[in-house]
Amino acid sequence: MPVIWDQSSSVLSQGDILHAGRQGREQDVSVEIPGFGAARVDVAYGGNFSAILEVVRLRRSLPVSALRELTDLGLATVEAVRNTVAIAHPNETEPAMLKAAILAEAGTASRPARNIMVKEPGYFDRSPCGTGTSARMALEHRRGNLGLGEPYRHESILGTVFEGRLVTEADVGGIPAVIPQITGRAWITGACEFALDPGDPFPAGFKF
């Protein structure tokens, strides 16, 4: 996964990530979400498989004040889709395990598309989620709403933003795919150094 850093400032805080090929998979699947009701969801791949639910379909939005309920909704969506849809990557022989849901809101003229990524056992992402952004772009491309090279701004529930674009089309195991590029910010939070002592009798480790 190549990373391109913008070194124009003293802090390496912005970069582009080019992912491998991604593809939209299952569209408009009807599921019964425990505790929330029936809804139609999409499944797309952006490094991981994600169940994508437009929350307006359940007459909901994405306020931070509803974080607990949204986490419960995300986990229930994962369970519902996993029990309904058989998911497999075209280059893998084993079935894929769905663990994440993208609860999504469409963008407007004044606001980018928004989301919260919820992952088992109950995590959520402070960022707009790189794999989730890739999955949403793949899905929008498949729907005909996002062309190659068009910017796609994606905002998290906390207001952090990634900007993505689709670089080129590809083929993954005979399935149409796209190569997304994600631009965002990151901060260095620590550093670690390892050394090999010449007196160490097992410098390369050991195994039984």
Low-confidence winner among 1-10, 44-53, 155-164 (lowest mean pLDDT):
1-10
* pLDDT (average), residues 58-83: 96
**Predicted local confidence at residue 84, as pLDDT:** 92
Q: What is the pLDDT of residues 38-48, one digit of tens each?
A: 999 999 998 88
Of residues 208 and 149, which shows the higher confidence score? 149
- Looking at the predicted structure, is the pLDDT value of residue 5 above 70? no
**Predicted local confidence at residue 47, as pLDDT:** 87
- Looking at the predicted structure, is the pLDDT value of residue 58 above 60? yes
* pLDDT (average), residues 68-86: 96
**Predicted local confidence at residue 91, as pLDDT:** 82
* pLDDT (average), residues 186-207: 88
- On the 0-12 / 13-18 / 19+ scale of CB atoms within 10 A, 8 is exposed
Residues 6 or more apart in contact with residue 189 via CB below 8 angstroms = none
SS3 label, residue 138: helix
Q: Which of 74, 144, 156 lies closest to 113 in space, CA to CA?
A: 156
Q: What is the pLDDT of residues 118-129, one digit of tens each?
A: 999 999 999 999
DSSP β-bridge partners for residue 105: 114
Please state, in angstroms and rounded to a whole number, the distance separating the CA atoms of residues 101 and 119. Answer: 6
For residue 47 the two structure tokens come to 């490094």
- Looking at the predicted structure, is the pLDDT value of residue 6 above 90? no
**Predicted local confidence at residue 71, as pLDDT:** 97
- Looking at the predicted structure, is the pLDDT value of residue 20 above 50? no
Q: Phi and psi at residue 56, in whole multiples of 5°? A: -60, -25
DSSP states of 35-84 as a string?
Answer: TTEEEEEEEEESSSEEEEEEGGGGT----GGGHHHHHHHHHHHHHHHHTT
Looking at the chain, which runs of residues are DSSP E strands? 3-6, 14-18, 23-33, 37-45, 49-54, 100-105, 113-119, 123-124, 152-156, 161-172, 175-185
Q: What is the pLDDT of residues 141-163, one digit of tens each?
A: 999 999 999 999 999 999 999 99
Kindly indicate the confidence band of residue 30, based on its pLDDT and cuts at 50, 70 and 90. Answer: very high
**Predicted local confidence at residue 12, as pLDDT:** 40
Kindly indicate the confidence band of residue 187, based on its pLDDT and cuts at 50, 70 and 90. Answer: confident
